[in-house]
Amino acid sequence: MHNLTIAELIKGLQSKEFSSVELTQHFLNRIGSLNPAYNAVITVTAEQALKAAAEADMRLAAGNAPALCGVPILHKDIFCTNGVRTSCGSKMLDNFIPPYNATVVENFEQAGAVVLGKTNMDEFAMGSSNETSFYGPVKNPWATDCVPGGSSGGSAAAVAARLAPGATATDTGGSIRQPAALCGISGIKPTYGRVSRWGMVAFASSLDQGGPMARTAEDCALLLNCMASYDDKDSTCIDREVPDYTATLDGSVKGLRIGVPKEYFSEGLDAGIEKAVRAALANLEAQGAELVEISLPNSGLSVPAYYVIAPAEASANLSRFDGSRYGYRCEGPKDLQDMYSRSRSEGFGKEVQRRILIGTYCLSAGYYDAYYGKAQQVRKLIQQDFDRAFESVDLIMGPTCPSPAFKFGAKSDDPVAMYLEDIYTVATNLAGLPGMSIPCGMADNKPVGLQIIGTYFDEARMLNVAHQYQQATDWHDLAPEGVAS
Amino acid sequence: MNIERQEIEKLATLARIAIDDSTINEVSQRLSSVLDLVDQLQAVNTEGVEAMSHPMQATQRLREDEVTEINQREAFQAIAPETEDGLFLVPKVIE
């Protein structure tokens, strides 16, 4: 059952081939036996899951089942779950049990999905390797001495290891696409404002966006149908109808104009990755799409702009964690200041502290205009690059990351090397555009991701093209050793 | 670029993060390398470019001034480190 896609599971559930309780128990068993090797899941909600599965079976029997009725999923531990610990990968929130559900969690509940548990992640979503989690790193199912990517590394590894058929994730600078690429699965970061951020622990509010991960584009479409919604409680959410993303998957790619940015194929790109990505583009060309070389001249500025904006917003967002109302409080504070500073230095890990300090620096008196103001202007330049490109192309494609999954520790001592992992992904967050990664080959025996960037609210077209590519290839069917059997 | 020890101490105070004396050099070195990266922005000509804060130029929405939330003090205080009579307790502020 774990090798079936969500689309197949829905059919199986509706035709009573298996029940949701059987399916849920099967995935819980897999989490129990396989998760210790990957550390992808940090909270298992077995009892609630089986109860929800039993209810789903009743609805399925009654014939009034909603879209995802009985389908087991995992939530990234950044989404607040009523009564279930939501740690955000941090000691700061190790004891935090939210009294409410995030809108995304609520949407999945409405759709009848069964939540198996919560996935590991980089602390406060700050990282590209999952090494900053308070709960220890997640291991890449393709090579357990390598990172799964981050920050949604737990969700990506769990889907790759078939511990769940799909999972929620978030992407601030590449946190859905990069781990999806490194773990050989599909993931989409929708347009900024498409998915509600309410109840999603904030990292950088002008960049954060939730999205789904699954093995296929079709499954991502099914999950996004449920995840995307307009929400009054998120003031940055855009009030726009959510199309049925599965309705347009079958369209042909004939005549589609695909922009290939020359800046995404410059030095620093692994040769094996380039080969796989070029082959994927050739496949789409053979299906009738047209490849157009384009230029995004300000690409090189996206990482510097991102590493001003994201830490600046993080330093403001994370000021709420002070030991007063919830979360970690240090032992025996001698006064209020001591409680604040010790709770924060003991509760936050090194990378989070580093980003708070950088953000504080960029926002402090005398530096605001030179850093934050300047970065917001550069952000506009990056958006204008994309606007110009989309005048002549429908989609933009290139690699998701510069190299395949790297070994633990390879970049953890050098923040700048780690930040460059995001070189092809952060620009879409800065512009607010949707981005996707799908598996398109192997390099050094590890998966390679093809990145698809669309214009605003063009998720349906991205999913359509990804689905057409997956109809013609089988990279998305590959499984890490020992996982499929 | 190098950040002076004094500046790190000031940042630590502003950010309410206690930095151990023995790690100040390491923190300074790492922050400096990140600032070197972001300093590339200074060379960009952004004259007349509007700063971007939301990709869709969205503005804050207004709503009717009606009560929409119910009081959940007990639920929120159940997860607090320390409370008393419905109040959040923190160390004494005034001697």
* pLDDT confidence band for A253 (50 / 70 / 90): very high
The dihedral through the CA atoms of A233, A238, A244, A246 has a sign that is negative
Residue A15 to chain B, least CA–CA distance (Å): 42
Q: Do A379 and B61 touch (CB under 8 A)?
A: no
Q: Does A205 contact chain B (CB < 8 Å)?
A: no
Token pair of A172 as six digits: 């601030």
CATH number for the segment(s) A1-485: 3.90.1300.10
Q: Which residues contact A261 (CB under 8 A, 6 or more apart)?
A: A294, A295, A296, A299, A389, A396, A398
Q: Does A193 touch chain B (CB under 8 A)?
A: yes
Query: Residue A426: helix, strand or coil by DSSP?
Result: helix
Whether A76 is a known active-site residue: answer yes
Whole-number average pLDDT of chain A: 96
pLDDT given for residue A415 in this prediction: 81
pLDDT greater than 90 at residue A420:
no
pLDDT range class, residue A126, cuts 50, 70, 90: very high
Do residues A174 and A122 touch, judged by C-beta distance below 8 A? no
A265-to-A42, A258, A439, A445, A454 alpha-carbon distances in Å: 37, 15, 18, 21, 18
Does pLDDT of A64 surpass 70? yes
Give the containing element (helix H, strand E) for A62: helix A46-62
- CB distance from A192 to chain B under 8 Å? yes
> What Rg, from alpha-carbon coordinates, does chain A have?
21
3-state secondary structure of A250: coil
A341 contacts B18? CB cut-off 8 A: yes
A11 is an active site residue: no
Tell me A140's DSSP state: B
Chain A, 276-305: which have a CB under 8 Å from a chain B CB? 300-301, 303-305
Restricting to A residues 307-326, those with a Cβ less than 8 Å away from any Cβ of B are 307-308, 315, 319, 322-326
SS (H, E, C) chain B: CCCCHHHHHHHHHHCCCCCCHHHHHHHHHHHHHHHHHHHHHHHCCCCCCCCCCCCCCCCCCCCCCCCCCCCCHHHHHCCCCCEECCEECCCCCCC
Q: Contact A264/A398 with Cβ under 8 angstroms? A: yes
| Token pair belonging to A343 | 């709770």
Question: With contacts defined as CB-CB under 8 Å, which chain B residues touch A94?
Answer: none
Which of B9, B35, B52 has the most A C-beta neighbours within 10 Å, making it the best mutation to test the interface with A?
B52
User: Is A151 an active-site residue?
Assistant: yes
Predicted confidence at residue A1, as pLDDT, reads: 94
User: Quick one: what percent of chain A has pLDDT higher than 70?
Assistant: 100
CB contact under 8 A, A377 and B18: no
Query: Shortest CB distance from B11 goes to which of A191, A206, A361?
Result: A361
CB A189 within 8 A of CB A176: yes
Can you give the pLDDT at residue A84?
98
Question: Which residue of chain B is at minimal alpha-carbon distance from A355?
Answer: B31
Specify the residue for token string 């900053």.
A132
Q: Which residue of A has its CA nearest to B88?
A: A325
Is the pLDDT score of A442 beyond 70? Answer: yes
Q: Is A231 exposed, middle or buried (0-12, 13-18, 19+ CB in 10 A)?
A: buried
Contact assignment for B17 to A319 by CB distance below 8 Å: no
- Per annotation, catalytic residue among A175, A186, A196, A412: A175
Mean pLDDT of A112-128: 97
Tell me how far apart the alpha carbons of residues B95 and A114 are, in angstroms, rounded to a whole number: 53
Provide ipTM, 2 decimals.
0.94
Q: What confidence tens digit (pLDDT) does each residue in A168-225 have?
A: 999 999 999 999 999 999 999 999 999 999 999 999 999 999 999 999 999 999 999 9
Per-residue model confidence (pLDDT) at position A267: 81
- Measure the CA–CA gap between A223 and A291, rounded to whole angstroms: 29
Question: B6 to chain A nearest CA, in Å?
Answer: 13
Quote the tokens at residue A64: 């009034």
* A119 DSSP β-pair partners: A41, A76
Amino acid at A251: G
- Count of helix runs (H) and strand runs (E) in chain A: 15, 11
Closest to A103 (Cα-Cα) out of A192, A210, A187: A210
Cis peptide leading into A151, omega within 30 of 0? yes
Kindly report, residue by residue over B30-85, the tens digit of the pLDDT: 889 989 999 999 999 999 999 998 888 777 888 899 998 889 999 999 999 999 99
pLDDT of residue A268: 87
What are the chain A neighbours of B40 within 8 Å (beta carbons)? 300-301, 304
pLDDT in tens, A29-58: 999 999 999 999 999 999 999 999 999 999
Question: Which tokens in the block code for residue A284?
Answer: 């789409």
Nearest to A223 by CA among A335, A71, A83, A351: A71
pLDDT number for residue A19: 98
Contact between A323 and A340 under an 8 Å Cβ cutoff? The reply is yes
Block residue for tokens 């030179």: A370
Q: How much is the average pLDDT of A124-133?
A: 96
**Contact present, B43 and A374 (Cβ < 8 Å):** no
Q: Kindly state the average pLDDT of the residues A361-381.
A: 94
